[in-house]
Chains A and B, each alone.
Chain A
Amino acid sequence: MPSADTNLTLQKAAESAVGFALKAGAKEADALVESGAQFRVDVLQGEVENLKQAQTRGLGLRVFVDKRTALVYTSDFRENAIKDIATRAVELAKKAQADEAAGLPATPPAMAADAAGLKTYDPAVAALTAEQKIDWARSVEKAALAYDPRIKRTDGCSLQSGVGETWYASSAGKSLTYRNTGIGGFINPLADDGDKQQSGGYGEFQSHLEALSTPEAIGKEAGKRAIDKIGARGVPTQKVPVILHPDIAGNWIQNLFNAFSGEQAFKKVSYLTEKLGQPIASDLVTLIDDGILPGGVGTAPFDGEGGATQKNLLIDKGVMKMFAYNAYWGRRAGARSTGNATRGYQNAPGIGPRNLYIANGASTPEQILASVDRGFWMVDSGAFGYNATTGAYSYQAAGFWIEKGKVAFPVAEITVASTTLDMLKSVVMVGNDLRYNGNVNSPTLKIAEMTISGRQAAG
């Protein structure tokens, strides 16, 4: 019998929290326990610059007392501490206002079908030693520096990895658990360009080691991105066809997802509110959010409130098919949860994507390039430029000018603008180069026309 000040196991902690809450008077309760080993190393000029390691864990408990809700969390896993916060949560909830839509999901906790085939956990990632990870980062940096003599330095290669275990316990049914892994690296090499310098950041993040490119390939890609920018210049203000690199298209749809949030639609603040069932995009566009993509970085067998994850078709050949819900906003809107409840142990469930992507089209990136008589190929952008309320799109951009289907010269110091609804309708080609890197991805897209703003006068 463990004493009161011994730490409980993750499963026991989650189940005890729910049990204590019910004993204290809760009608329903659920608990999410997250635990993980986190690792980060930064290598600069072949030497370890920073090495950070930590084991973290936390428990979040949500209680419902007659449709009244409270949420508490702790990283203290002693039985007494958990009993204490469970009791406090129930006391707090009694004072809240009843909300008819509050409560656990209508369906008992369940894993997605074929949970075993989801491949969220890679023993090869868990087995990597610190030395192996340091060597990996060294190899990335070496390859970046070796790509071209004009690359004289980098700001270091950073590798991060994690091994996690999640438990979900609920008064509505059985406990659920899964383990996951993640590993990735990033490097930003700098190329001399006269009195300027160009940078070429590239990184990857995967759940499985085998999905990660070799360190040599990552370093080489980053080096190429820096070298390719040498001599970049502005172009005049004009409207032209724009090719969105997969990185740029991915950033765009990551922002776009918010308009598919059932909460935003119910409050009528999403610009897609009135668009359900209508064509909103060119019929080349199919947008999917897939919680059960085997090996996906965003894959999990259940969401933040024990709902089975699923594959959701958001846009099918241009037609808007659905909004994404968690249990609460689903109930408010008269819809079902779509397995999109995102939740960290410190927070109440929100709505977010799992593995979001645009499905592959038929064109090779080369065919897309060849199709542009005069236009811009956007490969890099500033961090902000999307208006979540209107879908307006206006980003600082860098990339390449295209003349007669070929790259003419690198471009910088311009902006590229349109609106999301116009862009969706103007997708005239979709690449066949979708690759999963991180949890939001797209193939290359060609947009019929966007507005370029530059320093030089037009003409």
Chain B
Amino acid sequence: MMTADPQVARQFHDVRARLARLSPAEAAPALREMAQRVRHDDLHMIYRAGLGHLGGDFSVADILVTLYAGVLNVDPLHPLSAERDRLVLSKGHTAGALYATLARCGFFAHHELDTFAAPESALNGHPNRTKVPGVETNTGPLGHGFPVAVGIALSARLQAAPRRTFVVLGDGELQEGSNWEAAMTAAHYGLSALMAIVDRNRLQQGARTEDTKQLEPLAAKWTSFGWEVREVDGHDHAQLLSTFRQPGTTRPVCVIAHTVKGKGVSFMEDRVEWHHKVPSAEQVQIAVQELSA
């Protein structure tokens, strides 16, 4: 198990405290900057490793950064604190974005990102909770994180604990039936402290979701399963922050975050091949320029 970078963790603590006092609009610029840094780190990790899932990493980056820096009650110095809020990344193949975010928060030393996917690295292609602090459950096969998150939210209710549980789902992932088992369970138990966030980038590995197996009408599906549905621009940090900050009242909440796969790099955006394509050295240069703009 890796350990925290204490200096970065303390800085992160201060950043979180500062952002907590700000309105979503006021906090947005700092979140945007952090998300671009995460994309930048992730780009280099994947270029170095020669593998990864840049498209989905870039669509989910703003969601993850907003959660960690602006919403979650987590402490990288005490990653297993019983009271912590929980985030489950069900779309585990976007581990790169998660690792880069966790490193920015100080859960482990930033230089560890250089080992991504290398032999014996803690940073596997999919996240492992026994090796990476901040990871709650090992995901990778799709349709797994959501039931686990439901169990976490149930545990909080049984313990009368105030902690919140978030699960980030890919949109294509919703084709796995286990998600809908979990959606029914959460609604049945009225788990209002549970928030499911759908990274609705409309692309899956080989094609558009709607050309593969239609998800729409997606909001109506969640509503009919007993969930409160909120739709947001998944790259608008102010919208994300204000939506995430507000827990549900009686029902679990589904946030459909409309995103763009490959967000932030023009030649990757909304292009199906960037699901797991690795950029060339020239492409990295262009991407760095665009992300720094």
- Whether chains A and B associate is no
